[in-house]
Amino acid sequence: MLVAYDDGLTTHLNGVPHPERPDRVRVVADELRRRGMFGERVDTRVARPDEIERVHPASYIELVRRTCAMLGPNEATDLATGDVMVDAGSYEAAARAVGATLVALDAAVTGHRGTFALVRPPGHHAEPARGMGFCVFNNAMIAARTYAQDEGKRVLVLDFDYHHGNGTQAAAGGGVSYAGSHAAPAYPGTGDPRDNRVAADAALVNIPIDARRGIATEGFIGIHTRMLRALADRVRPGLLVVSAGYDVVAGDPVGDLGVDPSFARQMGRLIREVADEYCDGRAVFVLEGGYDPATLAACVAETILGFEENTEVEKTDAEAIPAAQRALVREVEAA
């Protein structure tokens, strides 16, 4: 699989103690290289402001640029819009994360295949005018919006991160649908399933999972398999954008729903199946959370292997999905 990555993505929060640290992507890159899976690595690029403006207003982009430009070599501060720490390198790194995602999008669209943007900072909490939760620019949504506007086709964003993708949901619509699971109660507190709606142009599906109980791996896979198959059939997307967050995995220092790292391979298989059936193979994976670098590295590798092996998703028992989530999945299937 083509992976968009280079060391320019490690300049954000370099030397600042923070869970969203440069080692996250560096360790993944080392693991992919070690396994011989980095043969299709491509360099990233820094996105232009007009590309970032597909989702974010110019005033917010300028706020990020100015905040970072004012900082000295060993300084860090929170963005004025909320809980996002930035340092002198953060604007360029965040614009590079967008650029890397657009490089991955181009390759997916022209090659009719799956690509992976191995980026940080992550993006799914970033609302149009407000960075939040470690996220500066919404990488996944910028790619989704770019494709929907340029190609005039629908896009389905699937988010399997531990946390709700509030920023992506806020910017969805106009041919971009959003669907995902998230832990609740948990940051950022959004994603009420009572707002769920299944419509071809602007579907919105949130499936909260009890943060205190967690979920069995089979149940997690079962939710996504049934939700994604049913929704893709309604939406008929030309592209899948996957907000690939791995903080659901057991032991993650920020998230942790008790899910086994093997889930990543099943997710890769599932997304391959749906991308092949509806999108001529086009799928762009965009890294979101996952805060234990070694586990993150294993999971990213497994997702890529799952996507590439062309094997069916393992059948899951409906009973493995807890009753509350099963009811929500059935609503999507019946819509």
Radius of gyration for the alpha carbons in the chain, expressed in angstroms and rounded: 18
Q: At a CB cut-off of 8 Å and minimum separation 6, what does 25 contact?
A: 5, 9, 10, 118, 119, 120, 287
Identify the residue among 20, 87, 106, 161 touching Zn ion (CB under 5 A): 161
- Choose one: 106-114, 158-166, 221-229, 233-241; the region binding Zn ion (CB under 5 A): 158-166
* 219 lies in the site for Zn ion, by CB under 5 A: no
Cα–Cα distance between 291 and 297 in angstroms, integer?
10
Cα–Cα distance between 49 and 136 in angstroms, integer?
13
Count of residues in the chain: 335
* 245 lies in the site for Zn ion, by CB under 5 A: yes
- Choose one: 144-152, 283-291, 303-311, 324-332; the region binding Zn ion (CB under 5 A): 283-291
Cα–Cα distance between 296 and 54 in angstroms, integer?
29
CB of 251 to Zn ion, least distance (A): 14
Output the residue with the shortest Cβ distance to Zn ion.
Answer: 289
Nearer to Zn ion, 123 or 219 (CB): 123
Residue 234, number of CB atoms within 10 A of its CB: 16
- Choose one: 91-99, 171-179, 239-247, 296-304; the region binding Zn ion (CB under 5 A): 239-247
Identify the residue among 163, 265, 282, 326 touching Zn ion (CB under 5 A): 163
Nearer to Zn ion, 187 or 278 (CB): 187
Amino acid making up residue 23: D
- Binders of Zn ion among 303-332, rule CB under 5 A? none
Three-class secondary structure of residue 229 per DSSP: helix
Cα–Cα distance between 119 and 11 in angstroms, integer?
12
* 220 lies in the site for Zn ion, by CB under 5 A: no
- Choose one: 33-41, 206-214, 240-248, 324-332; the region binding Zn ion (CB under 5 A): 240-248
CB of 163 to Zn ion, least distance (A): 4
* 247 lies in the site for Zn ion, by CB under 5 A: yes
Nearer to Zn ion, 161 or 273 (CB): 161
What 8-state DSSP symbol labels residue 130?
B
Nearer to Zn ion, 222 or 245 (CB): 245
Nearer to Zn ion, 108 or 215 (CB): 215
Amino acid making up residue 44: T
* 162 lies in the site for Zn ion, by CB under 5 A: yes
Cα–Cα distance between 77 and 83 in angstroms, integer?
10
Amino acid making up residue 119: V
Determine the size of the site formed for Zn ion (CB under 5 A): 6
Q: At a CB cut-off of 8 Å and minimum separation 6, what does 73 contact?
A: 88
Per the DSSP assignment, residues forming a β-bridge with 76 are 87
CB of 134 to Zn ion, least distance (A): 8
* 208 lies in the site for Zn ion, by CB under 5 A: no
For binding to Zn ion (CB under 5 A), which residues are involved?
161-163, 245, 247, 289
